[in-house]
Amino acid sequence: MVMFDIAIKNGFCYVNGSFKRLNIGITRSKIGYVGEESIKGDITIDGKNSLILPGLFNAHTHIAMALFRGYAEDMPLMDWLKSKIWRLEAHLTADDVYWGSLLGMIEMIKTGTTCFSDLYIHMDEVAKACGEIGMRGVLCYGMADRGDENRAKKELEIGERFIKKWNGEFNGRIKAVFGPHAPYTCSIEFLKMVRDKANELGVGIHIHVSETKEEVDNFHSIHSKNPVEKLDEVGFLKDDIVIAHGVWLNDREIDILSKKGISVVHNPVSNLKLASGIARVADMLKKGVNVCLGTDGAASNNTYNMFEEIKLTSLLQKVKTGKADAIHAIEAFDMATRNGYRAYKITGGEIREGYLADLILLDRKRFNFIPMYNPVYAIVYSTMGCEVTHSIVNGEIIMENGKILKIDESEVYERIEEIKEKFLSIN
């Protein structure tokens, strides 16, 4: 009998779209065994009352914005940004970002997310927090040149320095990429520089594209093309690109994304909350685009609970297409797991031998899971987010019976209260 670092015994495991009672053996950072044979581990977890899922991948967020959740709501978008959010961000220190990131990561872990993709400022602090709490992160510094050549150089330098410092750190848990903000805040020239530098360093690119109609209309009035078409024309697009939002894509753009192997992060709650629109997810899936899910920042959400995004993804496509079978539960769940890992080329998001051991356990005896005809439907349509009991990332248990193991939660909450007081004193 092979000995594993961790043996999860007898749980209902999600494998290839259905649930089976299996044992899972973990060795170092990876899943070493999935099957019905009896196994042993240095640590044994009894999975009898659990659903065992690949960890969720929050593929687009600005995690430290947890600090801003509920600060101001229900305002016209530009007014909200200018008079509220941007004013707070102007007072945001590196230390604030560190504590805000830990707060957001606590919420992500407790609601089942094992890996996230973050684009923000003071990214050294995000990387540090991610390393300490034990999550996996795809991180990038958010760059914008706004047509200024000097700024372009400086931004690229910060982005490059971040990548060189952090890529592969914490036993490979950090993957660093480039984060040019968006085609409307970055010049085409700058995006070409980013493309060249990404090729040189062999890293990917995460970018916002076509979130609002106004943004696309403005872009079109300048470039006589939609953003994806223009980015394709200038050679920016390769399969190492992940675009966030993609709410306003035309058929040609969806074809380009499909042909070039580009992934799209759908952020349904944020897209509703900011009145951006409902993305053409069913159309993209039909064309073979790899669509994954994200929460966006907490200011436009206000949570990092990916189970909300999973359910809403399915519901919104049903009403958008007028078809109750527009998206199937398995597709929505795979978008939140496998597709996220695929987008960023990380071998995880499935319970499969050789894959990274990023797993979560859910209590399957909850009232909202009864009766359970099919656990896939329970997961997609009935989960609140508070059923998650254990989180394992990179082969390490980072939450056990609801308790975050590697940091002191209460210290985080205390520091957040201080930061909140600072923000409240600004107005």
- Interface residue list for a second copy (CB under 8 A): 67, 69-77, 80, 103, 106-107, 110-111, 269, 271-278, 301-303, 305, 312, 314-316, 318-319, 321-329, 365, 367-368, 370-374, 377-378, 380-382, 384-386, 409, 413, 416-417, 419-420, 423-424
Nearer to a second copy, 291 or 380 (CB): 380
Closest CB to a second copy among 115 and 329?
329
Tokens representing residue 329 in the block: 């539960």
Which is closer to a second copy, CB of 24 or CB of 378? Answer: 378
What's the angle, vertex CA 343, arms to CA 337 and CA 346, rounded to 5? 75
Nearest to 324, CA basis, from 316, 332, 333, 335: 316
Q: CB nearer to a second copy: give 1 or 367.
A: 367
C-alpha to C-alpha distance for 204 and 172, rounded to whole angstroms = 15
Tally of CA atoms within 13 A in the half-sphere of 194 that contains its CB: 37
- Which three-class secondary structure state does DSSP give residue 108? helix
Nearer to a second copy, 273 or 287 (CB): 273
Please say whether the beta carbons of 220 and 253 come within 8 A: no
CB of 20 to a second copy, least distance (A): 18
How many residues belong to the chain? 427
CA distance 85 to 358: 33
Q: Dihedral of CA 35/36/42/43: which sign?
A: positive
CA angle 247, 190, 115 (to 5 degrees): 50
Tell the smallest beta-carbon distance from residue 198 to a second copy (Å).
Answer: 33
In the complex, the smallest distance separating the C-beta of residue 14 from a second copy, rounded to whole angstroms, is 15
Smallest separation (angstroms) from a second copy to the CB of 270: 9
Closer CB to a second copy, residue 347 or residue 368?
Answer: 368
Q: How far is the CB of 340 from a second copy (least distance, A)?
A: 21
Task: Write down the least CB distance from residue 313 to a second copy, Å.
Answer: 11
